[in-house]
Structure formats: structure tokens, C-alpha cells
Amino acid sequence: MIPSLRRAMRPWQILHRQPYPPSTVISPRVDASSPLEEENTPYYSPKHFYPARIGEVLDQRYQLATKLGHGSGSTVWLARDLSRWRWMQERYVAIKIKSNNQRSRPEDAEGERSILQRITTTNPKHDGWHYVRKLLDSFEVTGISGEHTCLVFQPLREPLWMFCLRYPDEVIPFDMIKLMLRMLLPALDYLHSECNIIHADLKLDNIMIRLEDPAILDEDARDAYANPLPEKHCDDGRIIYLSRNNWGPPRGVTGYVCIHDFDSAVDGNMPHYGSIQAEVYRAPEVILEADFSYAADIWSLGALLWNLLEGTRLFKAIDPHITGEYDDANHLAYITALLGVPPKELLEKGRKTSLLYDGNGVLKGPKPIPTDFSFDHVITNISGEEKQMFIKFVKRMLQWRPEDRSTAAELLKDPWLYDNFPQD
């Protein structure tokens, strides 16, 4: 809503929902000497993160009710929308408050906002439009070191990694995986073919499950008001809150997914270089620093399917959470075991190729190619014809050359997504 219209409506605000008064319950305290939540992220700075407080009203409209989470450059909050008439049902939104440090500069936030506006408005008639997160509103708030961009969204239930934890061995049923792919592929097709946007950071954290019952939001907000979680009170007056982001087992049918977090997204109409994507989902052209485009998203989606099918990561041997650090050459060795030697033309495009390969296209250093790493070996939870059909499907996504990977629209026609196969 434009500011002039907001000002014109102020006399009517008495008919709107009013902010809750501050809770009289004294919350437990957390040790002030220990880093908490966003303080543990590598780019945290108290100067550049907005010191939001529960109960605070932002933009004369949104009252912060609970903290939903945080990232390396933002915090996310559940908020009441006070613009609702008193006789209407409560409406809640999720607000992402961006930091304003050098890594998350105002122009970067503007870039994310611009991309979100493009996603929201380009073509609502496209099937994939329903499976990407849209921007409801945006505004600025002033912190101690300048302006912070705030992005307003519909609240969602939980990231896909948390949803996986609700199943034995963190493995989602096959029919549900296929259903999710029939949402994720239209979403990627919408981003790529309609919006000309590369997500550039597709992973389980950035795929969310939709909320099955909006009443959960009001219950959570009221519980936070009556039973606040422990807080960290800092010497400079800041309060660091614990996130309330687990709303328990689903109350009904869920599994509907939504791609979100376009903080790293870029325009697909121009060539791009540099490190994007989480390491274990990183495409070969990204590792080599050849130019990347939409096909990098396709690679990431193919790689993360192992999280859903097997409850593990395809390239777990290079996962820095397991190995202690990430290594480009080791990653390339495992890709080679899976796909064979890299094409010469891809190596010629890479800015880092000379650091990783010798003149004959052989990996440098003591990085032997694994001998027991293959599609057949790393797929254990499906068998028979379904396994072979899945391998054919995923091989269309995991190819050395970006131009050899199928598009999202092409993958959506794959028979594996629609057939049911008996298990051996």
C-alpha cells in the first residue's frame, strides 16, 4: 500500500485490530556470554542486524509475534497484520528483515526485492506460479546503522529437511516424492522460462512445506505471548530470541511445496560466474568457474533427490559437515566416478581448471577416482524397474555439460513421475 493511502486511512484505524500490550510474563534468561541463533552466523554484526523486539509494530501495520528463524543476512518473524478490521479473522505474515552490512548491502536487498516482484507478477496463470513464494509487501525500517529492507510473505510450515525428519530414516514415501517433483519442476520452469531467473541456491532449506491449518499461527502467537521462550539480554540493550519454528506433526494432508529464498537468485539473461549453491549440490560448471545458467538449478535438484529417496546426500563424501572441510578436487573425483571423464570443452571454459586439472585433463593431487561410486551403488531404497526408471530420470539432470541436462519442462514429461512400479 502506498504511504499516502496509508495516511489517509489513519482515522479509521480504530476499527482495525489493535496491538497486543506487552506481555507481563517474564521470560527466562539465556547466558549472555554465549552466542545464540544469528550471532553464530559468519557475517553477524550487532551493528548491521536490526534489533527487532517481539511486540514491536513495524511500518504502523505489522506487530512482531514470534521469531521464526534467521540466516546469515537476516532474521525472520511471524507478525500480526493490524490492517485487518476487528470483525475479521486474524491474519499473520512472515517478515524477513535484511541486515545492511557489506555482504548484504541495500542494493543487494533491492535486487532480491526486484526479483521477488518479477516472480509475483510475471504470469500468475502458469502452473509453477503456485509453487514459488510471492512477495506480499515491502518496506524499510531504520536501525542504528541505516535502513533495513523488510520483505513480507505468506507464512509457511517448515523447510523440507525438517519435514523429512518426520519419516522413518528420514526417507519420504516414493509417491510423495513424485508429487513434490510435479510441483518443483513447474516452479523451476516458471522461474526459468517465464521469469528468466536462476535460483542459484536450491537445497532442502529453500524448499518449504505449506501450512495445512492457518489456526496454527494464531495458537503459536498466543502461546508465545503467554509462555515466552528464553531470551538473551545483551549489555547494549539488544535481545536475541530463540526461534519457534517447529509446529509439530501435521494436522492434516500436507506435502505441498514452495520454492523460496531468492537471496542468491540472479537474472538469467546474462552469463554468470562465481561460487553459488551449497557445496554438496554444486554443479560442475560452478566448481570450475565456467559460466552458469538455468541448468545449475537442474543439477542441484537432481543431487538433492538422494536426501528424499535415501535419507542421505549423494556426495556425502565431500560434505563439509562430515569431512570437516569442502574440497573441489574431491567433489570432481566423485562426479567423475558417477559420469565418466569431464568433456574437454567444459574444462576449457573453466577459470579454475588449471588449478584442478593437468594439461591432459587429469585431476591434480592425490585424488583417486572412487571405484565403488555409481548410480546403481548409491540407490538402495528402490529396486527393479522403478530403480532403472529413476536412474534414467536423474541422469537427465546430472550431466557434465549444462546443455546436456533436460529442462524442467522436459523433465516434467518423464514417465517415472507418473507410473507406479512393483518392488522386487
Q: What angle do CA 313, 395, 390 make, to 5 degrees?
A: 75
User: What is the largest distance, in Å, between two alpha-carbon atoms of the chain?
Assistant: 75
In DSSP terms, 231 is beta-bridged to 29, 241
Distance CA 82, CA 101 (A): 30
Q: Which three cell numbers stand for residue 397?
A: 539432470
| Alpha helix stretches (DSSP H) within 269-407 | 284-287, 295-309, 320-323, 328-339, 344-349, 353-356, 375-378, 384-395
| 164 φ, ψ (degrees, to nearest 5) | -60, -35
| Cβ 352 vs Cβ 288: under 8 Å | yes
**Binding residue per annotation — 96?**
yes
Catalytically annotated residue among 201, 263, 297, 414: 201
Distance CA 126, CA 60 (A): 34
Distance CA 300, CA 272 (A): 16
Nearest to 281 by CA among 313, 311, 321, 310: 313
Nearest to 28 by CA among 227, 244, 237: 227
| Cβ 275 vs Cβ 286: under 8 Å | yes
If one counts every other C-beta atom within 10 angstroms of the C-beta of residue 48, the result is 20
| Cβ 106 vs Cβ 23: under 8 Å | no
Distance CA 175, CA 219 (A): 32
Q: For the stretch 115-125, what's the b/e string if a residue is b when 16 or more beta carbons lie within 10 angstroms of its beta carbon?
A: bbebbeebeee
Q: Active site includes 291?
A: no
CA dihedral 121, 124, 127, 132 (to 10 degrees): 40
Q: Which three cell numbers stand for residue 81?
A: 497484520
In DSSP terms, 97 is beta-bridged to 75, 150
Tell me how far CA of residue 120 lies from CA of 137, 158, 172, 377, in angstroms. Answer: 11, 21, 30, 42
Active site residues: 201
Numbered residues of the known binding site: 96
Numbered residues of the known binding site for ATP: 96
